[in-house]
Structure 1
Amino acid sequence: MSSKALSMDIKRRGLLLVLSSPSGAGKSTLSRLLLEKDDQITMSISTTTREPRPGEADGVDYNFVTIPEFEDLVAQDGFLEHARVFDNYYGTPAAPVEKALQQGRDILFDIDWQGTQQLAQKAKGDLVRVFILPPSKDELERRLRARAQDTDEVVAKRMSKANQEISHWAEYDYIIVNEDLDQAEEELFSILKAERLKRERQTGLLSFVKDLMGEED
């Protein structure tokens, strides 16, 4: 038998956890709870050409770059996904994501269905897609109004856009209907735990099983 001691700390490859939903369905709240309670997952840091807002720090909130720098990265295929939003560009840089995955760290993405489609083209094997649905349209509108952040006009636009976003639900691996936040949180953690245990993500299993069976490397 190998002299190497058996260890339950089996090396694994990280995963990319995407949460998408129409505005008001609870995606941001669930993301915050996940980041607060699980130290194995971190939020994806996007690269953007927009100017930093007060209190934002480069490399913490976003990676701030110029438009030519962003375009150079696009030309070098340096993004897993990218998009233009109004007059600014946003993208997920590929290199730091791959480094994190190799180190067994998970990355959380709060993006829409379009960004998710791009991620699926570049990193489908690492991707876990979760779509958050509201229990009803009435409840979705109630939550939007309860936030007291948007005008009636903005709420109406968000409600109008909700159908388009919800129509992409079948492109996701898991669906959570967020009627009760505690239950939705429990379901999200269950998904993450199960995905971490998948055989193909546990890259250290081969050597672990060899040791377990008394085989030499």
Structure 2
Amino acid sequence: MPKTSPDRRGLLIILSSPSGAGKSTLAKRLRAWDDTIRFSVSATTRAPRPGEIDGADYHFLAEADFKTQVADGGMLEHAHVFGNFYGSPKAAVQEAIDAGQDVLFDIDWQGAQQIRNSSLADHTLSIFLLPPSITELHRRLQTRAQDSDEVIAKRMQKSWDEISHWDAYDYVLVNDDLDATEAKLKAILTAARLRRTQQPQLTDHVRKLQKEFEETL
């Protein structure tokens, strides 16, 4: 299993999809594959659902407190979704990236766009998941039995808006088979960790090679 290393910078791994396309399940599978990947705990103004724990599932904030953090630049990204605010606290993410730890984001295209336009853009890996069909997407939302028919209808209405932004991502996968999609995600992440921007030690290594080369002349 891969481990974090002080010789590389961490990645901001953005995993997005319309509700029901599998991003939460695949995010959990990635973390099971590599338990050093840190899941970004979002802040939200919505009320906790049964069983949710403050600080573990979400940071539950009053709307006024959330807006204050946004105004102070404390959120890496934020959005207003289904009547509530969601966002990613910036300080914890920056600390993890500097320490060589990957941070996984389960967010929508609005949040992804904000991160891609942030100071951490060079260290971002964005992946969008498409459902195999709209019919299957609707079936998955009904099967998981988390939402009322009214909420499911709203999620379906929003799904096409989210899908329409598929081409703003680095990678796009059709999630028609969880195991196959998981394997592709692992391959993408493994390659992204080897990007030049993620290997700060390369500069010193090249300088060492240059010095060695000059000494041989």
Could you state the TM-score of these two structures normalised by the residue count of structure 1?
A: 0.84
Q: 1:110 aligns with which of 106, 113, 122?
A: 106
Aligned to 1:177: 174
CA–CA distance in structure 1, aligned partners of residues 66 and 138 of structure 2? 37
Deviation at 1:43, TM superposition (A): 0.9
SS of residue paired to 2:185? helix
Q: 2:93 aligns with which of 91, 97, 100?
A: 97
CA–CA distance in structure 2, aligned partners of residues 145 and 108 of structure 1? 26
Within a 5 Å distance, the mapping from 1:149-164 to structure 2 comes to: 149-164=146-161
Q: 2:190 aligns with which of 193, 202, 212?
A: 193
CA–CA distance in structure 1, aligned partners of residues 13 and 69 of structure 2? 23
SS of residue paired to 1:91? strand
SS of residue paired to 2:117? helix
- Of stretches 122-131 and 137-146 in structure 1, the one that deviates more from structure 2 is 137-146
Aligned to 1:43: 39
Residue 73 of structure 2 corresponds to residue 77 of structure 1: yes
SS of residue paired to 1:60? coil
Deviation at 1:204, TM superposition (A): 1.7
Deviations 1:121-167 (A, max 9, x none): 11321211100001122222232233244444443333332211110
One-letter amino acid matched to 1:112: D
Deviations 1:58-79 (A, max 9, x none): 3322234444433332222121
Deviation at 1:110, TM superposition (A): 0.7
SS of residue paired to 1:132? strand
Deviation at 1:54, TM superposition (A): 4.8
CA–CA distance in structure 2, aligned partners of residues 102 and 176 of structure 1? 29
| Count of paired positions | 208
- Of stretches 48-57 and 79-88 in structure 1, the one that deviates more from structure 2 is 48-57
Within a 5 Å distance, the mapping from 1:7-26 to structure 2 comes to: 11-26=7-22
Aligned to 1:144: 141
Alpha-carbon distance change, 110 to 207 in structure 1, aligned in 2, over 3 angstroms: same
- Of stretches 191-200 and 51-60 in structure 1, the one that deviates more from structure 2 is 51-60
Could you state the TM-score of these two structures normalised by the residue count of structure 2?
A: 0.84
Aligned to 2:132: 135
User: Kindly, what percent of the aligned residue pairs are identical?
Assistant: 54
One-letter amino acid matched to 2:13: L
One-letter amino acid matched to 2:202: L
